[in-house]
Amino acid sequence: MRLTRALCGYLLCASLLVVTALPAHAEILEDLYKSQVSVNTQTGQERSRALREAFKQTLARVSNISDWDNVAPAIDRALADVDTYLIQYAYTQHNGQTFLQAEFDETKITALLRSAQLPIWGKRRPQLMLWMAVESRDGERKILASDSESIFTQQLRNQATIRGVPMALPLMDLRDAMAVSLTDVWGRFISPIRRASERYDVDGVVVGRLLYQPEQQPNWRLNWYLEIGNERLHGQIKGNDPDYMAVPLVDDIGNRLAQQFSVRTDAGEASQLIVEIEGLDSLADVLNVESFLKSIAAVQRVQLEQYGHQQGRFKLWLLGSAERVYQAIDLDGRLTQHQRSPFAMPETLTANRYVWSD
């Protein structure tokens, strides 16, 4: 049956009180539009520099901008007027170092990126488990564990936060040691690595190998391989100091993931998609589905058209390809596809049927 105005009003009011639960897999990065930059002083000049750097960090995290010398004119103008996009800032201390923390306006940044026709990588991002085998100059090899405090792992954690790439290292406890050997990681034998990663409930695995090659320049190579669903990506990093190769590693992976999961924001009329969902046993289920659909970067607007008999019909206005919606649904895991013809045209208003399980 079609929703009554009373129920629509109740849904609207209740949606303001609902906090969306984190999905079983993909992580929602709520702080995507917040950045932190170290400062030497709290003077106006240093504050302006830090806010500009924080703004660049945020844009890079959301839109994968890396070449700041060749950005769109709209981005150049925004960098000269950071205060327009700023919500708030504050200073904080950590281990004797002062940091400026800044939060920027998501709506204004989205409008900026759309005007510049740049892609947007949304808050919902795949969680990755990194299995990294490292070699020392004397040929000794080991798998990095989550309790490592090496320069490499500290830089890895910091850069993963800056770029918004959820990435963790394995515990390498007895269970991991019995499941995965150094040979498995060094040789990239992916089957035991996949099985060992299941305990961590992640969306994908990264297998890395950092090796010393003194006869070459630069003499360190870091080869990486990534699996997420049917996606297969790989790359290589070269450097002279293994301690400082984590930053380019995260950047390389982040850039490739952004290419895969970002939504193009080219100007034009938004396409539409109809999604029919079963298993909506309560009002909370309806609200959770609506919140999830709205959280997808490719979705501009969501409208609940019909609800009844534990089924809901939602109309979605899209910013980009419908394939990005299907990708986000598969990544989240709470909507199980009922049936969708492989020959269906995503741009048409063809209903896609799913079953909700939270």
- Which residue ranges form the domains of the chain, and what is each CATH number? 5-26+265-356 (3.30.70.3100), 33-115 (no CATH), 124-261 (3.30.160.100)
Paired with 311 in beta bridges are: 278, 308
Which residue in this structure is represented by tokens 């510049």?
116
Tell me the per-residue pLDDT of 1-52, one tens digit each, with 9 for 90 and over.
333 333 333 333 333 222 223 333 577 888 999 999 999 999 999 999 999 9
Q: What is the predicted pLDDT for the residue at 269?
A: 54
Give the pairing type, strands 167-168 and 128-135. parallel
Contact yes or no for 8/15 (Cβ under 8 A): no
Percent of the chain with pLDDT strictly greater than 70: 87
Residues 33, 273: Cα–Cα separation, whole Å: 28
296 falls in which pLDDT band (50, 70, 90)?
Answer: confident
pLDDT at 68: 87
Average pLDDT over residues 145-172: 96
Q: What is the pTM of this model?
A: 0.76
Q: What crossing angle do the helices spanning 5-15 and 283-295 adopt, rounded to 10°?
A: 60
Tell me which H or E stretch contains 283. helix 283-295
Q: Is 69 exposed, middle or buried (0-12, 13-18, 19+ CB in 10 A)?
A: exposed
Burial class (CB in 10 A: 0-12, 13-18, 19+), 345: exposed
pLDDT at 330: 86
Q: Are 142 and 182 in contact (CB under 8 A)?
A: yes
Backbone angles phi, psi at 263, to 5 degrees: -110, 125
User: pLDDT tens digits, residue range 201-238?
Assistant: 999 999 999 999 999 999 999 999 999 988 899 999 99
| pLDDT at residue 266, rounded to an integer | 60
